[in-house]
Amino acid sequence: MNWQALLDEIDKLDSYKRFGKVSRVIGLMIEAKGPESSVGDLCYIHVGGGRQKQKIAAEVVGFKEQHVLLMPFSTIQHISPGCMVEATGKPLQVYVGPSLIGQVLDPLGLPLDGSPLPQGLQPISIERNPPNPLTRPPITEPIEVGVRLIDSLLAVGKGQRVGIFAGSGVGKSTLMGMIARHTNADINVIALIGERGREVREFLERDLGPEGLARSIVVVATSDQPALMRVKGAYTATAIAEYFRDQGMDVMFMMDSVTRVAMAQREIGLAIGEPPTTKGYTPSVFAVLPKLLERTGTNAYGTITAFYTVLVDGDDMNEPIADTVRGILDGHFVLERNLANKGQYPAINVLKSVSRVMNHIVTPEHRQAANKLRQLLSTYIDSEDLINIGAYKRGSSKEIDEAIRFYPKIMSFCKQDVHEKMTRDESIQMLLHLVQTG
């Protein structure tokens, strides 16, 4: 045994316990006189007495004059003036390891079904800085997603970060389930933030399925949980993905949805007195988003390929969160309600979607075929009204005639059944065959 290392660890221990007292509760916020602590530190509020005594976890989110501002991870029931507040002197940590694969966790990293954590895990902090830009290898290799439309027309690279922009009920969760089941990544880490309680089990059993769950870790923070728990759910899932990336793995990370993380951060910001800005979002929201989203991607050990869903309010692609996220990520896929209404699943609008690294990770032949299909689709869409009302006469334009001939096959190519599995090579071959033969 290395006694010197053990003695060094003992020297680092703080032999004092620091306490404060709750002075008042205002809305979501708890004010306490003391204890000595820093922003982001985990504290415990002691409530009740005798057999009813319990500890409520809370986080230091700010200071006001001589008071510490705390936000609890659970409800604020039973908290009264004079309750003891115990400082831990460190931020929230979660326990991570390979034995977590197949588990569904809460934002604190504990199994959602109440079972004990597996053995052999190690603690990690959920608050980490993004990798140094100069240590990030460039994205040069494609990753198989298993969705024909994406692998062929919107190719994604290992370590790329993509936003899935859609209104409610257009198929975001279904698309995420397809990717989780069909991708060739080593492991999936999925964050369900702000979901309805009913949808969690539906996603696990119907969209993800036993096949997907067996190679996934799912972190769940439902909409009824406090705002701090929803934000921590996003940080916990990202930290778990970073752990496996540092083990040299190619991780597929999915978060549904980053909009609800922003809304939760807005609640926290307003509660501590931040001024509301665009659509009521506080400045901290626009500071948190890049820090959170930049943590995924490549580093010197492995990759995190990330998909973030963004709820566009009223299908408005220029609302503040959608606009901010689109500027941070390496591409965006737009799901449109009118395509879903026509029976096209996944309902991705190819002409409004872009993968910013596609040109660097595909062959020239693949790139030319994808551009050709986009051109044909664009030509048809531009002339669709004339074609539908019979105002266009065949032979007037070679380009439109060609687009009309290709259009039914393009629509068939874009559709894929939820349980239809297709490799990336098969998708590319179908694209090349379609463009060459029509």
In a domain, 10, yes or no: no
In a domain, 319, yes or no: yes
Residue 370 to residue 69: CA distance in whole angstroms: 54
What is the span of the domain harbouring residue 381?
365-437
320 and 430 in a single domain? The answer is: no
The predicted model gives 22-38 an average pLDDT of: 87
Q: How confident is the model at residue 4 (pLDDT cuts 50, 70, 90)?
A: confident
Single pTM value for the model: 0.90
44 and 186 in a single domain? The answer is: no
Of 215, 318, 220, nearest to 260 (Cα)? Answer: 220
The predicted-structure confidence for 208-217, as pLDDT tens digits, reads as follows 888 889 999 9
233 and 245 in a single domain? The answer is: yes
In sequence order, the 6+-apart residues with CB closer than 8 A to the CB of 242 are 124, 128, 295, 296, 304
Cα 386 versus chain centre, distance: 41
Of 14, 82, 8, 28, nearest to 227 (Cα)? Answer: 28
To 10 degrees, the CA torsion angle through 101, 106, 112, 117?
60
* 161 has pLDDT over 90: yes
Cα 276 versus chain centre, distance: 24
In a domain, 2, yes or no: no
Residue 290 to residue 310: CA distance in whole angstroms: 14
377 and 349 in a single domain? The answer is: no
The predicted-structure confidence for 361-382, as pLDDT tens digits, reads as follows 999 999 999 999 999 999 988 8
In a domain, 133, yes or no: yes
- Of 91, 118, 153, the position where a domain reaches its end is 91
Residue 418 to residue 180: CA distance in whole angstroms: 12
- Of 332, 359, 386, the position where a domain reaches its end is 359
- Of 310, 332, 359, the position where a domain reaches its end is 359
User: Can you give the pLDDT at residue 111?
Assistant: 92
33 and 165 in a single domain? The answer is: no
* DSSP assignment letter at 302: -
363: left (phi over 0), alpha (psi -120 to 50) or beta: beta
User: Residue 239 maps to which CATH number?
Assistant: 3.40.50.12240
Domain count, the chain: 3
Cα torsion angle, 36, 288, 208, 423, sign: negative
The predicted model gives 157-175 an average pLDDT of: 89
DSSP labels, 315-354 = G-TTSHHHHHHHHHSSEEEEB-HHHHHTT-SS-B-GGG-E
User: Residue 73 maps to which CATH number?
Assistant: 2.40.10.170
To 10 degrees, the CA torsion angle through 387, 389, 391, 395?
30
The predicted model gives 245-253 an average pLDDT of: 94
206 and 263 in a single domain? The answer is: yes
Q: How confident is the model at residue 207 (pLDDT cuts 50, 70, 90)?
A: confident
In a domain, 147, yes or no: yes
